[in-house]
Structure 1
């Protein structure tokens, strides 16, 4: 009995050490995988929910949430539900940077998701690289997010270079145009589209006949319009936001200047159509990086599933190209989480994304990644403004005849 106190002390120390060991192991796991608990995965999303690009942000996040709510209702991924912490950056780069800092340092999110815009996303990119935090599904086609490949940056959509190349090819080869100008937003987004257009024209031994720009966040497009109009451009490639592009088109019409207008997908089809107006006679084209958001009988069609799930969870919302892109972002995110398994880490998630090959999203729509391939989709679809909405367009030959006859 004289050794009883000593035995008690030894037993206490052993239990304490065992408890400390468990605590340290749990702590290490938490430090190793921020934003992951036994029941939840937390993501951070900085995007414009207000201001002159607010439509793009609200549509992107709503499309993503439609799919994530569906996944959560089915039990989540490996027993964990997904939660998105979304913060408004108003398409302002410094605000996006501040939001990203809070996500990584204060909120300890697992990954960054559904960022919107080139200048904003590029502002946050150094933090992504320093923290080794995955950034997946950005609503931007910026080349700087694709080349050189960044291990932690996962693009779903095609690039602006691909969009402008496809558009210029149709203008030159199918429509026979020789005088093409560029109207662009004076920032990283606009410069990226301008360079893409210049590279595309260079393949045909051409260059823009004029360049006009405006300052992000304004509608001051008159100087750019005057410069382009004086050049006699037959077509204008537009790299801006929906408000400025609509203002440019409407002013052109008022002044009797009627070139072909082409915009990249970032402009936002539904919002641009509404601002240009149903009765506008202008020829306005827009490239898209996703198919039309319409229902079908195909159970594996992501576009159709997006329409159905949006109606279930957000019945007051109207399906859009932008929303469908957010929906596809969420599908790829979830597929990566599933492949990564229950023992989720950031590195494991990136390896899981790299393992995706020929993942079907719908008819003619597949995703493939690899160690040096950080973009899933390459297809470009074209739409034309008709009766107040952008609808699929493929008949360039017939359109050329229309131009030549003046009808």
Structure 2
């Protein structure tokens, strides 16, 4: 089997026996990946309406005199269900608040949500349904790299904006795509912050990477490698697992054998929790450092006592009110609105991010004016400069910048809760 140049690069650090095994595994992975792609083509064909969708820069689908339709496909169940649920609750809390005040330009926002269970094929099907059948004005609050990457061609064809994506993947940022409106910092920024903390602050040079074997994990792995290169380092080991599984043992074995002193983790909360638990059972306790997609609150819950000292980078400030520091206005409003909309729910980093996504969605609709179109909406987003969200750091977009925030925060799990590391 002859691999493409990009695939050959993956093999450079392996022995001939490992290369053969890895090529076989890669072939299996590619064949497995082809099946859902073929299914998605069938789904696309099955969902295509008799008449082609009219796509123009002035498309006003989803706009009526008293309502604006917004669509979201996100994980509400499965291995990332916590993330989608928290994100949606934060977003809905703010949207409900806006609707209770009369909406925007006399229109209330109606959010249509579909569960994709963090499955790229289901996300593609859901997105097609939202665009072609539900005829939403814009897409909103998607969760995950593999899911969002799968729908980029559809977004480009429909010329429909997607606002607020719970992923830091570089592919959604470079090259700049004006239909993809990112709020949060990237995984490159998170992994750079993680490596700076590990190498510069903690003086640990033996760094391994544990990652999900898909677009999400590859992006985090690449970001970590770039950050390590700045210090003249490379990962001492790389271990992976397949998305949607908990088969982390092989990756754990590789990393334990390397005697790594720190592990940068790019995975979901269930797989990362299992990795850390099994590592500690085997008396392997390096510094574990996760990126924000892990969902720190759920990770901490699943780890219990095993979570003590685990690091997580965040892309929003802590969603808590502390008697020691003045409350951030944005955090204070999020907590208040969440308590009103979901009295039994506790604030979370993911929920705060959903709230911020909704703030930007609403701001774009406001600036676009009553005669809103998709192009006017995107232009309005691009006009946002130094916008105060009440989280200390202002947000800025531009024609050549589709990411509003760049800040990364360090948190550490202490006594079962992620707390800000000062």
Settle same-fold status: TM greater than 0.5.
yes
Alignment-derived partner of residue 235 in structure 1: 262
Alignment-derived partner of residue 14 in structure 1: none
Once the two structures are TM-superposed, the CA of residue 295 in structure 1 deviates from its matched residue by: 3.3
Q: How many residues align?
A: 367
TM-score (norm 1): 0.88
The counterpart of 1:79, out of the listed 94, 100, 106, is: 106
Partners of 1:236 and 1:261 within 8 A in 2: yes
TM-score (norm 2): 0.85
Alignment-derived partner of residue 145 in structure 1: 172
Alignment of 1:360-399 (within 5 A): 360-394=388-422
The counterpart of 1:224, out of the listed 220, 239, 251, is: 251
The counterpart of 1:249, out of the listed 263, 266, 276, is: 276
Partners of 2:331 and 2:391 within 8 A in 1: no
C-alpha distance in 2 between matches for 1:125 and 1:135: 10
Between structure 1 and structure 2, the one with the greater Rg is: 1
Instruction: Please say if 1:289 is aligned against 2:289.
Output: no
What SS is found at the alignment partner of 1:115?
Answer: strand
Moved more, 66-75 or 294-303: 294-303
Could you say if the C-alpha distance between residues 332 and 377 of structure 1 is closer, same or farther in structure 2, counting changes exceeding 3 Å? Answer: same
Partners of 1:45 and 1:115 within 8 A in 2: yes
The counterpart of 1:159, out of the listed 175, 179, 186, is: 186
Please provide the CA RMSD for this pair: 1.7
C-alpha distance in 1 between matches for 2:84 and 2:165: 11
User: Where do 5+ consecutive residues of structure 1 fail to align?
Assistant: 1-26, 395-407
What SS is found at the alignment partner of 2:191?
Answer: helix
Once the two structures are TM-superposed, the CA of residue 302 in structure 1 deviates from its matched residue by: 1.2
C-alpha distance in 2 between matches for 1:185 and 1:195: 12
Alignment-derived partner of residue 69 in structure 1: 96
Instruction: Please say if 1:133 is aligned against 2:160.
Output: yes
Alignment-derived partner of residue 149 in structure 2: 122
Instruction: Please say if 1:43 is aligned against 2:70.
Output: yes
C-alpha distance in 2 between matches for 1:52 and 1:363: 30
Alignment-derived partner of residue 51 in structure 2: none
What SS is found at the alignment partner of 2:403?
Answer: coil
Moved more, 35-44 or 298-307: 298-307
Once the two structures are TM-superposed, the CA of residue 300 in structure 1 deviates from its matched residue by: 6.9
Could you say if the C-alpha distance between residues 281 and 159 of structure 1 is closer, same or farther in structure 2, counting changes exceeding 3 Å? Answer: closer
C-alpha distance in 1 between matches for 2:217 and 2:168: 11
Partners of 1:260 and 1:282 within 8 A in 2: no
What SS is found at the alignment partner of 1:366?
Answer: coil
What SS is found at the alignment partner of 2:394?
Answer: strand
Partners of 2:57 and 2:374 within 8 A in 1: no
Alignment-derived partner of residue 203 in structure 2: 176
Q: What per-residue deviation string (whole Å, max 9, x for no partner) do you get for residues 15-61 of structure 1?
A: xxxxxxxxxxxx99998300000000001100010111100000001
Once the two structures are TM-superposed, the CA of residue 280 in structure 1 deviates from its matched residue by: 2.4
Could you say if the C-alpha distance between residues 28 and 227 of structure 1 is closer, same or farther in structure 2, counting changes exceeding 3 Å? Answer: closer
The counterpart of 2:368, out of the listed 340, 345, 352, is: 340
C-alpha distance in 2 between matches for 1:85 and 1:356: 26
The counterpart of 1:359, out of the listed 372, 387, 403, is: 387
Alignment-derived partner of residue 24 in structure 1: none
Instruction: Please say if 1:59 is aligned against 2:69.
Output: no
Alignment-derived partner of residue 319 in structure 1: 347
Q: What per-residue deviation string (whole Å, max 9, x for no partner) do you get for residues 166-186 of structure 1?
A: 110111111111100000001
Alignment-derived partner of residue 88 in structure 1: 115
Hey, which bits of structure 1, 4+ residues long, moved more than 4 A? Answer: 27-31, 296-300
Alignment-derived partner of residue 286 in structure 2: 259
User: Where do 5+ consecutive residues of structure 2 fail to align?
Assistant: 1-53
What SS is found at the alignment partner of 1:62?
Answer: helix
Alignment-derived partner of residue 11 in structure 2: none
Could you say if the C-alpha distance between residues 35 and 298 of structure 1 is closer, same or farther in structure 2, counting changes exceeding 3 Å? Answer: farther
The counterpart of 1:201, out of the listed 210, 218, 228, is: 228
Once the two structures are TM-superposed, the CA of residue 303 in structure 1 deviates from its matched residue by: 1.1
Q: What per-residue deviation string (whole Å, max 9, x for no partner) do you get for residues 341-376 of structure 1?
A: 000000000000011010011242211010001000
What SS is found at the alignment partner of 1:244?
Answer: helix
Instruction: Please say if 1:309 is aligned against 2:337.
Output: yes
What SS is found at the alignment partner of 1:383?
Answer: strand
Could you say if the C-alpha distance between residues 31 and 143 of structure 1 is closer, same or farther in structure 2, counting changes exceeding 3 Å? Answer: closer
